[in-house]
Amino acid sequence: MKQNDNTDNSLVREISNEKYKYGFTTDVHTEIIERGLNEDVIRMISAKKGEPEWLLEFRLKAYNYWLTLEMPKWAHLDIPEIDYQNISYYADPTVKKDGPKSLDEIDPQLMSTFDKLGIPLEERLALSGGVAVDAVMDSVSVKTTFKKTLSEKGIIFCSISEAVREHPELVKQYLGSVVNYRDNFYAALNSAVFSDGSFVYIPKGVRCPMELSTYFRINAAGTGQFERTLIVADDDSYVSYLEGCTAPMRDENQLHAAIVEIVVLDRAEVKYSTVQNWYPGDENGKGGVYNFVTKRGHLRGVNSKLSWTQVETGSAITWKYPSCILSGDGSQGEFYSVALTNNYQQADTGTKMIHLGKNTSSTIISKGISAGHSQNSYRGLVKVGKNADGARNYSQCDSLLLGSNCGAHTFPYMDIQNETAVVEHEATTSKISEDQLFYCNQRGIPMEESIGLIVNGYAKEVLNKLPMEFAVEAQRLLAVSLENTIG
């Protein structure tokens, strides 16, 4: 078996040895404001971004509400006290006032960062057939590619600060309409200090010709990232949106509290895929990103559709529940998730499907994998309102345990108020099958690769939902994250 390790297995070896390969920092000139949070800081962020008065008011309202809240404690997570005054709420790697006008103007250091991240920027994109990318580094959107091609179709894809300037009426109409600033602790915090993020608007009847994609990266030390994404799909439109996240390796914990809002109108369809690979901390649980995210889609239109797909392998602590409010008649919500935790990672993730319209349906497929000393929980709500006749839900959440020091937990909630609803939930928890491992070993596949193979097979149902490029990356990620789990 030893020989095999060196030959066939080279890919897995190569990846395994890399450990967390995104752990570099880039020495880009970054403007970071003083640590701490108060009204002045919020005014300063707002002023730096040249925001209109209404947005500043929105931020201040959120801030004042946030002050009245306490950190939520209900999740199956052990979250250390977070000192919110010891975080810098704004880090701007671009400093140039007007932002880059062409590729040459971008700091070459920054460009090489994205090279390392493997983000296909404009040139490569032209060859590879097209993914429009918005790269958000330390909360500020650095560059959005392919804008022109998109704008010909009337599609708006830009940073949210640009959208505030260029399309204030759209932003004003939809911002905070799905995730209210009063929603929860982190949503309030984000609403107060969010610095950037992506804005997408797909006009009526337009099918977005390419995948839209945003890469998020925390670069500067001592900062938090608070981005905000807003996607509006007008009647009969379609868009597929991808999101990827990485962060440098640091001993301290960094906070990431984002909001994603999606509005889906009549017969529109949105696919939202995430590969979350924030720095998970080292093998002793030191460092890593706290990922406290509020993601929600509002299916307002009839026969609208929203599909969340997520592969969660990073972050020290994940607290994330991408949800669908199914208020349009005949709307469909989907949630596909693979959450993998290793070492001392903790994840409490799942979804909420809130059925309000008639004949709405939702599907939940969640696959949890825990290894090392990690704790991995699924928490999901299926709610069927009084008027949601004919609502249908199917949920399946499976957990796989690798090793005897980890935990896998399932906490589904069902709240049914309509007699015509059909709701099903199934969950299983088990260890990786000895028989399958033996079968692989018998055929000369070494242990580690066998595990990778079995885990990938187990997660296939979800990985299949990812767009092509992401599926490949996700498979590699699963292999890396599983390194040394069974020895």
Partner 1 sequence: MSVSDIYIDLFRNNRQTIDAGIAPVINGCRERALQALSEYGLPNKKLEEYLHFDAEQLFAPDWGMNLGRLKMAVDYTEAFRCNVPNLSTLLYYLAGDTLVQSESAARVQLDNGVLIGSLNSMAKDYPELVEKYYAGIANMERSGIASINTMFAQDGLFVYVPDGVVVEKPVQLVSLLQSKVDMMVNRRILVVLGNGAQLKLLLCDHSIESRNALSVQVVEAYVGSGASFSYYDLEETHTANHRINELFIEQQSDSNVELKTITLHNGKTRNTIFATLAGRGASLNVDGVAITDKQQQVDNYTYIDHKVSDCTSNELYKYVLDQESLGAFAGRVLVRQDAQRTAAHQTNRNICLTRTARMFTQPQLEIYADDVKCSHGATVGQLDEKALFYMQQRGISESEARTLLMLAFVDEVIGNVKLEPLRDRLRRLVEKRFRGELGHCEGCNICK
Contact pick of 421, 440, 477, 478 for partner 1 (by CB under 8 A): 421
Establish if 401 lies at the interface with partner 1 (CB under 8 A): yes
The whole-angstrom separation of Cα 159 and Cα 142 is: 8
Establish if 105 lies at the interface with partner 1 (CB under 8 A): no
When the beta carbons of 167 and 409 are compared against partner 1, the nearer one is 409
Establish if 386 lies at the interface with partner 1 (CB under 8 A): yes
Shortest distance, CB of residue 483 to partner 1, whole angstroms?
18
Establish if 407 lies at the interface with partner 1 (CB under 8 A): yes
Shortest distance, CB of residue 367 to partner 1, whole angstroms?
15
Shortest distance, CB of residue 401 to partner 1, whole angstroms?
4
Shortest distance, CB of residue 460 to partner 1, whole angstroms?
20
Name the one range near partner 1 by CB under 8 A: 20-28, 134-142, 400-408, 450-458.
400-408
Establish if 439 lies at the interface with partner 1 (CB under 8 A): no
Residue 221 tokens, joined:
């030390």
Name the one range near partner 1 by CB under 8 A: 168-176, 271-279, 359-367, 419-427.
419-427
When the beta carbons of 311 and 421 are compared against partner 1, the nearer one is 421
The whole-angstrom separation of Cα 305 and Cα 414 is: 22
Contact pick of 7, 68, 85, 404 for partner 1 (by CB under 8 A): 404
Establish if 410 lies at the interface with partner 1 (CB under 8 A): yes
Establish if 415 lies at the interface with partner 1 (CB under 8 A): yes
The whole-angstrom separation of Cα 375 and Cα 353 is: 24
The contacts of residue 99 (CB under 8 Å, 6+ apart) are none
Establish if 429 lies at the interface with partner 1 (CB under 8 A): yes
Task: Identify the CA nearest to 466 among candidates 299, 275, 189, 285.
Answer: 275
When the beta carbons of 52 and 407 are compared against partner 1, the nearer one is 407
45-71 burial: b if 16+ Cβ within 10 Å, else e: bbebbebeeebbebbbbbbebbeeeee
Residue 367 tokens, joined:
């696959």
When the beta carbons of 125 and 432 are compared against partner 1, the nearer one is 432
When the beta carbons of 249 and 381 are compared against partner 1, the nearer one is 381
When the beta carbons of 230 and 401 are compared against partner 1, the nearer one is 401
Q: Identify the burial level of 80 via C-beta atoms within 10 angstroms of its C-beta, where 0-12 means exposed, 13-18 middle and 19 or more buried.
A: exposed
Strand-pair partners of 261: 230, 296
Please, what is the Cα angle at 392 between 295 and 183, to 5 degrees? 25
Contact pick of 423, 463, 478, 479 for partner 1 (by CB under 8 A): 423
Q: Identify the burial level of 153 via C-beta atoms within 10 angstroms of its C-beta, where 0-12 means exposed, 13-18 middle and 19 or more buried.
A: middle
Task: Identify the CA nearest to 260 among candidates 237, 225, 228, 292.
Answer: 228
Name the one range near partner 1 by CB under 8 A: 176-184, 294-302, 353-361, 394-402.
394-402
What secondary structure does DSSP assign to 320-354, as a single string?
A: E--EEEE-STT-EEEEEEEEEE-TT-EEEE--EEE
Residues 61-100 that bind partner 1 (CB under 8 A): 74, 76
Place of tokens 């092509």: 468
Contact pick of 86, 420, 433, 464 for partner 1 (by CB under 8 A): 420
Place of tokens 């924030």: 278
The whole-angstrom separation of Cα 258 and Cα 191 is: 9
Q: How many CB atoms lie within 10 A of CB 442?
A: 9
Establish if 32 lies at the interface with partner 1 (CB under 8 A): no
Shortest distance, CB of residue 484 to partner 1, whole angstroms?
16
Q: How many CB atoms lie within 10 A of CB 457?
A: 11
Judged by CB under 8 A, how many residues of this single chain contact partner 1?
A: 36
Establish if 26 lies at the interface with partner 1 (CB under 8 A): no
Establish if 390 lies at the interface with partner 1 (CB under 8 A): no
Give the footprint of partner 1 on this chain (CB under 8 A).
74, 76, 384, 386, 399, 401-431
